Copies of this chain bind each other. A is one copy, B any other.
């Protein structure tokens, strides 16, 4: 939470606020918890806020009705403004009137932003139909590469050991005999584990691929380069060469796996101005202040950044 001059007073993180992923009820409770903890940590009365900017994926057209119950029950005041997480991410990286946001987390999406609105969007089509270059696609490719090695169809790769560890499959399984379908035990264990969970959970194996790339593994490098090429295609679909603008990178993959961001940089036109943001907290504050009648200039924006940084 921020004061009217942009000074960050409180900061909190709670569970997933993604309605598609966890359902409306859980999302509303998680958002309420984050708001309450941020207010409490700032020592600000719960009824004090003038405006709550809630930045969400796929937010367009959604009213705030599903959120008001939990907020009211917890005594939180203030009008709720629903905004796109892409815009909040963008405004965390720049105040430019026109520019671009590329997010790769579990999913992947790119947008052209103009006057704090999404003007064009590409991908964000979900794990089956799109999300090129996302954590899910990187993790899935890593898991498939591990399966191919164990199955004798693919090259040896450092990704395999990492995937087995990430999925809690003990290496001791390798010492046992092949099972009755003549499969290596490790492959049988991987098969069982992967199909027991929701596909989207494989996104957590993206980190394994990144680490193997750092260690020089060529299979991992191929996966990372394909992901970066996919993200570049997605960005180019919304890039207006007459309005170049800054490019803000966000999401867990682009924020924490620098090799993906590096590969993306090499796939873009020379001179592209890239900034990476850890999340959309600064941009959410920008949106909240703007809605409350305190437009954010460079000075206020700098103050949000520096004071929020001290709270994290």
Contact = CB atoms under 8 A, between A and B. Distances in A.
A147 B120 contact: no
Contact of A233 (B128, B153, B182): B153
A181 B121 contact: yes
A140 interface: yes
Contact of A147 (B60, B130, B181, B236): B130
B129 A144 contact: yes
Contact of A191 (B129, B144, B182, B238): B129
A25 interface: no
A180 B61 contact: yes
Interface of A: 58, 60-61, 118-123, 125-126, 128-130, 132, 140, 143-144, 147-148, 151-154, 180-183, 187, 190-191, 194-195, 199, 202, 233-234, 236-238
A187 B180 CA distance: 45
Contact of A151 (B125, B182, B191, B202): B125
Given A118-B182, A182-B119, A191 B125 contact: yes
Q: How many identical chains are in the complex?
A: 2
Contacts of A129: 143-144, 147, 190-191, 194-195
Contact of A154 (B119, B151, B233): B233
Given A118-B182, A125-B151, 15 more contacts: A60-B180, A60-B181, A122-B152, A122-B153, A123-B153, A125-B187, A128-B194, A128-B199, A129-B147, A129-B194, A130-B147, A130-B148, A132-B148, A153-B233, A154-B233
Contacts of A125: 147, 151, 187, 191
A153 B234 contact: yes
A126 B182 contact: no
A210 to B, nearest CB: 21
A147 B131 CA distance: 11
